[in-house]
Structure 1
Amino acid sequence: MFELLAEKEWGKISVQDITQRANLNRTTFYQHYQDKYDLLH
């Protein structure tokens, strides 16, 4: 997340960006978080 924030502003970071960077499936992401704001908290 911190790497993405260094590259893009928060509003332009998508869940797809996060999951690609983390080498994670979107389904897995949504099993743990509702959205990127939930991840941030």
Structure 2
Amino acid sequence: MPEAEERISYNMPSFYQNGTVRKIVEFRLRENLAKTKGP
């Protein structure tokens, strides 16, 4: 999802571009999406 990726990068403060923090954020977003979609 390149669009979502761009939106995340655009909305987050610059320190979120740090690899570790970014991975955590993306992991949480994917988890939330999975919960929203359900089984």
Q: TM-score, normalised by structure 2?
A: 0.32
Computing the radius of gyration from Cα coordinates, the structure with the larger value is: 2
TM-score between both structures, scaled by the size of structure 1: 0.32
